[in-house]
Amino acid sequence: MRYIDQDELALPEGWLAKAAAAADAVAAGADPNAHADVWRELKDALAALFPEKKCWYCESQVDRADNAVDHFRPKGRVSDAANAHTGYRWLAFDHRNYRYACTYCNSRRKDVVNGTAGGKADRFPLVDENSRLYAPGPLSQEKPALLDPCDLDDWELIGCQQENGKPCAASQDPAEQHRVAESISVYHLDYEPTCKQRHAAAIRLMADVDQAKLFFGKPGLQEHFTSVAKKIRRAIDRKAPFSGEMIFLLKGQRHDDHPWIQKLIEA
């Protein structure tokens, strides 16, 4: 996961007026899905906020799915709510509630072969259920349990295990670990084929780190070192698959003898 700056979103001409009209219709009782063209119109603009059309939750490339615009706060019912919740309908046309997501993170699926299940669908757990909004109100009142790529602090809380590519908490704090566990489950980040791809990226990264450590500071090997260091930098760039998890793994390799690692992370 990486941080996505929503303020960079470029809205098409006339979109805000269309969104306001749709929001009025929904406030008067219309079904938000009857105006799905409004959020679908933002699909490309949202995709453009993150390179390579990657999913904001898992950093996999998104295929040309129709439902790539996820409502972070669900527009329909909310299955986690303690009382019957008909959805955050008043946010259905608020572009700050949109996240660009792949089908695996967004839609409920069961992987029977590997024994995992997930997909966000109507899930939106909170850290404290008592703070749940059932009508328009200050969103700051609710602390989402799910990690939000549009929150400056959340992306760094999740990493992956070097040996199998499975997602894990980057933090030792129990409350943060709980949020990571909820996110892995709800976004289906432990989907086995995704773990395999993440693992392959981890293997490549760690092989390069081992090489760079061997080359670093050795007379006559400066050029070799530079070329491997550039490869590692590319693997943690926003364009690279699973770059957030690769940063997590690279952070684990920091050492006083190898100051170049911290420099690459900050570059």
Q: What residue ranges bind Zn ion (CB under 5 A)?
A: 55, 57-58, 102, 105
Q: Which of 105, 102, 140, 98 is nearest to 120 (CA)?
A: 105
Shortest separation between residue 231's beta carbon and Zn ion, angstroms: 25
Shortest separation between residue 105's beta carbon and Zn ion, angstroms: 3
Shortest separation between residue 189's beta carbon and Zn ion, angstroms: 8
Q: How many CB atoms lie within 10 A of CB 117?
A: 14
Q: How many CB atoms lie within 10 A of CB 253?
A: 18
Shortest separation between residue 174's beta carbon and Zn ion, angstroms: 26
Shortest separation between residue 88's beta carbon and Zn ion, angstroms: 21
In the chain, the amino acid numbered 225 is F
The rounded distance, in Å, linking the Cα atoms of 184 and 198 is 14
What token pair was written down for 262?
């911290």
Nearer to Zn ion, 89 or 198 (CB): 198
Shortest separation between residue 151's beta carbon and Zn ion, angstroms: 17
Shortest separation between residue 55's beta carbon and Zn ion, angstroms: 3
Nearer to Zn ion, 162 or 194 (CB): 194
In the chain, the amino acid numbered 24 is D
Nearer to Zn ion, 32 or 241 (CB): 241
Nearer to Zn ion, 201 or 261 (CB): 201
Exposed, middle or buried by CB within 10 Å (0-12, 13-18, 19+), for 127?
Answer: middle
Q: Which of 168, 151, 150 is nearest to 159 (CA)?
A: 168
Q: How many CB atoms lie within 10 A of CB 191?
A: 24
The rounded distance, in Å, linking the Cα atoms of 247 and 155 is 11
Nearer to Zn ion, 58 or 261 (CB): 58
Partners of 167 in the β-ladder: 160
Nearer to Zn ion, 23 or 105 (CB): 105
Q: Which of 122, 100, 120 is nearest to 186 (CA)?
A: 120
Q: Scanning the structure block, which residue is given the tokens 């959340």?
A: 154
Nearer to Zn ion, 57 or 98 (CB): 57
The rounded distance, in Å, linking the Cα atoms of 30 and 22 is 9
Q: Is 150 helix (H, G, I), strand (E, B) or coil?
A: coil
